[in-house]
Structure 1
Amino acid sequence: DGAQFMTDLCMNQGLDCGTTVPYAYSKAEENTWVSSEDDKPHASVDTLYVQDDWTNGGRTQHPETLTLVKFKIPPLPANMDASLFKYRIRLFGGKTEANGADQIFFYPTSSDWHVSTVSWNNKPAINYRSDAVLYLDHSHEYRMVDVDKAVRKALAEGKTEISWYIGGDRQGNHYDFTPADSKQSLVLMLTGFKKTPEL
């Protein structure tokens, strides 16, 4: 997996993989966005959109756009110390507005959805207690999100897939990301980290 990742997702894009070569990874098997403004499925997308606003009357008083992502979970190595590995999402994108940095949120949800049919009114339940937070500005670049705890919990429950909503900063700003089938892709990575001895 590591060599494939280096070729496809680093070198072929002029990137230095550096410390980001994973032990294993999986591209999002499904990714889409849903919006309170339109109750349509978006089965094939060039861009994943995110926007949320919890001001003045709260979330339900404003338009909301959520990205949905689903991954197969790369299994932990059987014969190695699992504590030396970490699950992270690598995605490419940023904030649309150039007005400083804000946080966006990765909310857990079920994997019982498909891009061809999921829309605002039939989307899986959303839990607004986030598994992860990403702080980002309008620079469109690769972003890493630590989802280790959530993935290990899913594995402990016997799950082979995991899904998240990506929700906005609650101030009404917009974000956009590239989908899994883009050049930059959207991947769940399992990366090894060697512990440094404490002096």
Structure 2
Amino acid sequence: LCMNRGMDCGTTVPYGYSKAKTNVWLSSMEPALSQPDPQVLLVQDNWKNGGRTKNSETLSLVKFNIPPLPAGQDPAQFKYRVRIYGGKVETNGADQIFFYPASNDWDPATVSWHSRPPCNYRSDAVLYLNHSREYRMVDVDKAVRKALAEGKTEISWYIGGDRQGNHYQFETGSSQQSLILMLTGFSKTPEI
């Protein structure tokens, strides 16, 4: 998952991981369209000049199986993160995008803008990024642990835009760059 990908394997080799089980993008501009196997994931929204519902909006909806925490080890030494590959389309600096919680009750073959699960627009995580197409890590540890405490084995998020109208493009779970939910161990080693 890290070799020959231009990243530090020391902090990116997961104890466990799962590729996105399903991923789609949904657009208010094409409200009846289903995208069961998209080539890329698209994100864009604009909350200015009349607010979010007065402008076009494109959200990506992703679902993962949750990798279990290791038995017999201190769970505090592990962290859940999403690894996503992509970036902003525009080259006008960096902005933040949002991971909003979503219900797991959706089917990629039939979900559309009209039939999508509700979104409360209160984010579980934020990712600050620019136009460079690269791997990015998103800390989703609290949200995943909450889902585990509720007995869930899957977790879904909407990926929403920067609220400024910029466009973002990311690789899917089936791509070579693999959108994944990973569980990585972190342990502080005392210096001698």
After TM superposition, the score normalised by the length of structure 1 is: 0.92
**Alignment partner of 1:38 is 2:49:** no
The 2-side partners of 1:10 and 1:85 are apart by 18
Paired-residue identity, %:
70
Code of the aligned partner of 2:2: C
Which residue pairs with 1:62 in the alignment?
55
* Cα distance change on mapping 1:121 and 1:149 into 2, 3 Å: same
Using the TM superposition, give the Cα deviation of residue 10 of structure 1 relative to its aligned residue in structure 2, in angstroms: 2.5
Code of the aligned partner of 1:24: G
Pick from 3, 9, 14: which aligns with 1:22? 14
RMSD: 1.5
Using the TM superposition, give the Cα deviation of residue 19 of structure 1 relative to its aligned residue in structure 2, in angstroms: 1.5
Using the TM superposition, give the Cα deviation of residue 15 of structure 1 relative to its aligned residue in structure 2, in angstroms: 5.2
* Cα distance change on mapping 1:14 and 1:52 into 2, 3 Å: closer
Q: Give the SS at the match of 2:114.
A: helix
Pick from 137, 141, 146: which aligns with 1:148? 141
Which consecutive segments of 4 or more residues in structure 1 shift more than 3 A?
12-16, 196-199
Code of the aligned partner of 2:130: D
Which residue pairs with 1:3 in the alignment?
none
Deviations 1:2-41 (A, max 9, x none): xxxxxxx333656552320000000000001000000200
Using the TM superposition, give the Cα deviation of residue 130 of structure 1 relative to its aligned residue in structure 2, in angstroms: 0.1
* Cα distance change on mapping 1:198 and 1:125 into 2, 3 Å: farther
Which residue pairs with 2:70 in the alignment?
77
Using the TM superposition, give the Cα deviation of residue 195 of structure 1 relative to its aligned residue in structure 2, in angstroms: 2.7
* Cα distance change on mapping 1:76 and 1:90 into 2, 3 Å: same
Q: Count matched residues.
A: 191
Deviations 1:32-62 (A, max 9, x none): 1000000200011111000010001100010
- C-alpha contact (below 8 Å) 2:17/2:181 kept by paired residues: yes
Using the TM superposition, give the Cα deviation of residue 173 of structure 1 relative to its aligned residue in structure 2, in angstroms: 0.2
The 2-side partners of 1:59 and 1:172 are apart by 10
The 2-side partners of 1:167 and 1:14 are apart by 27
**Alignment partner of 1:184 is 2:187:** no
- C-alpha contact (below 8 Å) 2:83/2:135 kept by paired residues: yes
Code of the aligned partner of 1:118: V
More helix by share: 1
The 1-side partners of 2:173 and 2:94 are apart by 24
The 2-side partners of 1:127 and 1:86 are apart by 25
Q: Which residues of structure 2 form unaligned runs of 5+? A: none
**Alignment partner of 1:115 is 2:111:** no
After TM superposition, the score normalised by the length of structure 2 is: 0.96
Which structure 2 residues correspond to residues 120-131 of structure 1 after superposition, within 5 A? 120-131=113-124
**Alignment partner of 1:162 is 2:169:** no
The 2-side partners of 1:30 and 1:163 are apart by 9
Q: Give the SS at the match of 1:60.
A: helix
The 2-side partners of 1:50 and 1:103 are apart by 12
